[in-house]
A and B are shown apart, each in its own frame.
Chain A
Amino acid sequence: MSDTTFSSSRIGRIGGLLMLALAIAYGIGGSQIDYAFASDPLGPRVVPVLLAIILAVLCLFYLKNPGTAEAFPTGQLLVKIVAVPLLLLASALLLEPAGFAASIFLLTFGVGWIFGAPLRLALIGGVGQAALWWFVFSYLLDVYLPVGQLFG
């Protein structure tokens, strides 16, 4: 599973640079935290700046040797990998306007299909799960879930 390739270590380096950028941005942000005054000698800025420096130093070590990493997905698998978060995003945005049942159906049907279920089974699974979870949360566990403006 941990098939280390040269390209994956290059991706590791890109990740290291991104983290270094994060450390710098976080440090700059930390040094500009807005406050009136602090009752303690350190104040709210010192710890973030310290953490930024630590992360930056660690990133340098990491860039020198990114270690083992898994190969990044390509081709069809990459499309699938991107599609799952997009479906989550869509169902999160639809949750309040369209309601729990509709948005969960979208999620379970879509993800089920991506995970290789035949279309018919994915549809049945989606409807089934939407109904099951609605029943479990609304009736058994009494958790508040949006009904949606379409049906409410």
Chain B
Amino acid sequence: MTRTFVKTLLAAGLFAAVASPAGAEPSKPECLAGAKPGGGFDLTCRLAANALLEAKIIGKPMAVTYMEGGVGAVAYNHVIGKRGSDGNLITAASSGSALLIAQGKFGQYDETAVRWLGALGADYGVLVVAADSPYKSLSELIAAYKASPTDFSVAGGGAVGSQDWMKGSLLAKAAGQEPKEMRYVALEGGGAVLTALEGGHVKVGAGDAAEMSKHHAAGKVRVLAVMAPERLPGELAEVPTAKEQGVDIEWPVWRGYYVGKDVSDADYKWWADAFTKLVATPEFVKEREARGLYEYTQVGDAFDQQVKADVARFKIIAKEAGM
């Protein structure tokens, strides 16, 4: 009798400790970055952490923690397995995460194993050539690719199946080639792509607008097309979109967050509302621009739908490419 009573008491106490009051500000806000400090996930976490604090939406600083491994796979598995109901925690993700999920590279879990919270910014894919390259527009590039497909090396900062490879495969398809046959050179990140272009080792590179715009402005490389629905502001304002040049390629790289599957609706709603409030503040715009991200906001269920649609789309693209 007494034992049952003690047990119940313990259970009740435990429950009270775990469940935070509904809809309140998280007591220990935390953003998990599935990579080393300094990478893309870190940037994503810092955007939320700094902007939320600057805009005074959270009172306490948000901790950024790191869990490196498998381009976010370790963090994904960790959140699902150990912190599924933790309302304090948001985890950084990007469209690259959706791509890996579509390819089954996040282990046994798919995109429905977490709740997608929102995206706060995006980068866009670009195609670049060396500054002294004979190609001045996307159509010239595609014509040259068509003319001699076996002689056309494309470099990107990632392996086969990565975002940069996907961008290259869209180019190959536009040139009427099989993505499988594309002569793709997988390098370590955008810096290496730049070096390979400058050294004349490859003909064209796939990359991200934020990183390449600096080198475009410095005259080191020429961005031929941005894979965005509209022209980008800033240094790339002169560069036409792929669509303008008659090729229907878009590649937004959103940066967003997810929470565990069993996080309460109240907590989920608190975060979603916080994001909605956040994007309207000038503090946020400053923080977003400081990180070279373009405007791209999607919050709550709309984002959840978007991610699921992305995964479905990536599955089709990957299948078409022969993955």
Contact = CB atoms under 8 A, between A and B. Distances in A.
- A touches B in complex, CB < 8 A: yes
B182 A39 contact: yes
A37 interface: yes
B165 interface: yes
Contacts, number: 21
Interface string B281-323: 0000000000000000000000000000000000000000011
Interface string A35-53: 1111110000000000000
A39 B156 CA distance: 12
A35 B184 CA distance: 16
Interface in B185-222: 185-186
Nearest to A38: B160
B96 interface: no
A38 B180 CA distance: 8
A36 B323 contact: yes
Contacts of A38: 160
B322 A36 contact: yes
Contacts of A40: 184-186
Interface string B205-244: 0000000000000000000000000000000000000000
Secondary structure at chain A's binding surface: helix, strand, loop or mixed? loop
Interface in A11-41: 35-40
A43 to B, nearest CB: 10
Interface string B147-166: 00000000000001100010
B217 to A, nearest CB: 30
Contacts of B185: 39-40
B183 interface: yes
A36 B104 CA distance: 12
A39 B152 CA distance: 12
Interface in A29-83: 35-40
Contacts of B65: 144
A39 B165 contact: yes
A33 to B, nearest CB: 13
A90 to B, nearest CB: 22
Nearest to A43: B160
Contacts of A36: 160-161, 322-323
A39 B183 contact: yes
Contact of B180 (A35, A37, A144): A37
Nearest to B319: A36
A144 B180 CA distance: 45
Contacts of B186: 39-40
Nearest to B184: A39
9 contacts: A35-B160, A36-B160, A36-B322, A37-B160, A37-B180, A37-B323, A39-B160, A40-B185, A144-B65
Q: Which 10 A-B pairs have the closest CB atoms?
A: A39-B184, A36-B323, A39-B160, A37-B180, A37-B322, A39-B182, A38-B160, A36-B322, A39-B183, A39-B186
